[in-house]
Structure 1
Amino acid sequence: MLTAAILTSLQVYGIAIVISMIVAVIIKLMVVLTARAEKSRPVEMPTGTVCPVGPGVPDEDVAALSAAIFAAMGPHRILHIAPASHGWSSEGRAAQHHSHLPGPAGRGSR
């Protein structure tokens, strides 16, 4: 009875070892194949005209942002750089402040 349990556990460990080795070999093969695919593919450099810079944005900032985006994401085109509108955030803050005011919808007086 005890030897049957030991044999069964050894079989389970053996199967787990074989499956782990197969998965490790498949992962290694995928890493090697993707590395070869990336080496053989040339880097495409973007060509064309640079987007016009809006008023108030220094050329140095546009160049620094373009270089940072290219380094992080690869060759992509920047379509527009402009200051963001803060209307939605100020409206949200105002709504939150109004929700905390005492009144008929709020807690009222204690």
Structure 2
Amino acid sequence: MITAAIIKSLQVYGIAIVVSLVVAVLIKVLVLVTARMEKRPAVEVPTGSVCPVLLGVPEEDVAALSAAIFAAIGPHRILRISQPSHGWAVGGRAAQHSSHTPGHAPGRSNR
């Protein structure tokens, strides 16, 4: 009885090993096939005129940003690099502060 259980467990382990090997080979084949399909020809780097750099923006930063954008999304033109405007942030902060001030809120009764 114990020998039959041992034989049955060895059969189950053997089947599990064979299935694992088949799945591993299948995954390896799929990885190789998809790697060959994804090989694309090298992208031609466009050459042309460089946009003027505004005062205060170092040329090294423009070069680094251009390289990062090209690496991430491909060849695109940068139209403008300038100092950020914080007008929207000031308006948002003012709206938040006015909504949190205690007192009478418009549209509510005085109860």
Displacement of 1:79 = 2.2
Distance 1:91 1:27 in 2: 54
Q: Which structure would you say has the larger Rg?
A: 2
Amino acid at match of 2:41: P
In the alignment, does 2:47 pair up with 1:48?
yes
User: How far has the Cα of 1:60 moved from its partner?
Assistant: 2.1
Q: How many residues align?
A: 97
1:103 corresponds to: 103
Q: Deviations over 1:53-72 (max 9, x none)?
A: 242223222112222333x4
Distance 1:78 1:27 in 2: 40
Summarize deviations over 1:29-58 as a string: whole Å, max 9, x none.
Answer: 33111211334x221122131441242223
Give the letter aligned to residue 43 of structure 1.
A
Normalising by structure 2, report the TM-score.
0.58
| Matching of residues 1-110 of structure 1 within 5 Å | 18=19, 24-39=24-39, 41-56=40-55, 57-70=57-70, 72-73=71-72, 75-80=74-79, 81-105=81-105
- Structure 1 runs of 4+ off > 3 angstroms? 20-27
Identity across the alignment (%)? 49
Q: Describe the shift of the 1:61–1:50 C-alpha distance in structure 2 as closer, same or farther (beyond 3 A).
A: farther
Runs of 5+ in structure 1 lacking a partner?
1-6
Write the distance in 1 (CA, Å) between the matches of 2:30 and 2:82. Answer: 42
Is contact 2:45-2:75 (8 Å) kept? yes
d(CA) in 2 for partners of 1:91, 1:25: 60
